[in-house]
Amino acid sequence: MRAILIRDLRLAIRAGGGFGLGLAFFLIVVVLVPFAVGPRGDLHSVIAPGILWLGALLACLLSLDRIFALDYEDGSLDLLATAPLPLEALVTLKALAHWLTTGLPLVLVAPFLAVLLNMPAAGYAPLLQALALGTPALSVIGTFGAALTVGVKRGGLLLSLLVLPLYVPTLIFGAEAARRGAEGLDHGMPLAMLAGITCGTIALLPFASAAVVRVSLR
Amino acid sequence: MSLSAHDLSVSRGGIAVLEGVTFTLDPGRALILRGPNGSGKTTLLRTLAGLQPPLRGRVQAPPEARVYAGHADGIKAALTARENLSFWADIFGGGDVHAALAAFELEGLAERPAGAMSAGQKRRLGLARLIVAGREIWLLDEPTVSLDAPATAMFARTVRAHLAAGGSAVMATHIDLGLDEAEVMDVAPFKARAAALDGFDEAFL
- For chain A, what is the mean pLDDT? 91
pLDDT at A200: 96
Domain assignment of residue B203, yes or no: no
Examine residue B197 and state whether it is found in any structural domain, yes or no.
no
Interface residue A79 vs chain B (CB under 8 A): yes
Helix, strand, coil % over all residues of chain B, rounded to 5: 35, 25, 40
Q: Are A4 and A76 in contact (CB under 8 A)?
A: no
pLDDT at residue A207 greater than cutoff 90: yes
Q: Does B62 touch chain A (CB under 8 A)?
A: no
Q: Check residue B199 and give its pLDDT.
A: 53
Range of the domain at B52: 3-190
Number of domains observed in the structure of chain B: 1
Q: What angle do CA B99, B138, A3 make, to 5 degrees?
A: 60
* Beta strands across the sheet bearing B66-69: B66-69, B137-141, B168-172, B30-34, B182-186
Contact B44, B10 (CB under 8 A): yes
**Pick from A4, A7, A82: which is nearest to B68 by CB?**
A82
* Residues A128/A115, Cβ–Cβ less than 8 Å: no
Per-residue pLDDT, B197:
52
Residue B122 within any structural domain of the chain: yes
Residue B43 located in a structural domain: yes
In chain A, domain spans: 2-11+19-216
How far, in Å, CA of B195 to CA of A4, rounded?
44
pLDDT digits (tens, 9 = 90+) for B121-139: 999 999 999 888 888 899 9
Q: Do residue A11 and residue B53 have CB atoms under 8 angstroms apart?
A: no
| The pLDDT of residue A129 | 93
Q: d(Cα B123, Cα B146) in Å, to the nearest integer?
A: 7
Distance CA A128, CA A178 (A): 8
Kind plus residue range of the DSSP H or E element containing B133: helix B119-133
Cα A45 to chain centroid, rounded: 24
Alpha-carbon separation of residue B181 from A63, B3, B166 (angstroms): 49, 15, 12
CATH number for the domain including B179? 3.40.50.300
pLDDT tops 60 at residue B203: no
Q: Does residue B201 lie in a domain region?
A: no
Contacts of residues A1-7 at CB distance under 8 Å and 24 or more positions apart, as own/partner, are A1/A85, A1/A89, A1/A93, A2/B90, A3/B87, A3/B90, A3/B91, A4/A80, A4/A85, A4/A90, A4/A93, A4/A94, A4/A97, A4/B91, A5/A93, A5/A96, A5/A97, A7/B76, A7/B79, A7/B83, A7/B87
Q: Taking 50 as the threshold, does the pLDDT of residue B172 lie above it?
A: yes
Residue B184 belongs to a domain: yes
Alpha-carbon gap, residue B196 to A27, rounded angstroms: 57
Residue among B43, B46, B51 with most chain A CBs within 10 A, to mutate: B51
User: How far is residue A151's CA from residue A149's CA, in Å, rounded to a whole number?
Assistant: 6
> Do A82 and B66 lie within an 8 Å CB cutoff?
yes
Cα–Cα dist A206/A85, whole Å = 14
Give the span between the Cα atoms of A182 and A167, in whole angstroms. 22
Which range has highest mean pLDDT (A97-101, B108-112, B176-180)?
A: A97-101
Residues of chain A with C-beta less than 8 angstroms from the C-beta of B88: 79
| Displacement of CA B131 from its chain's centroid (Å) | 13
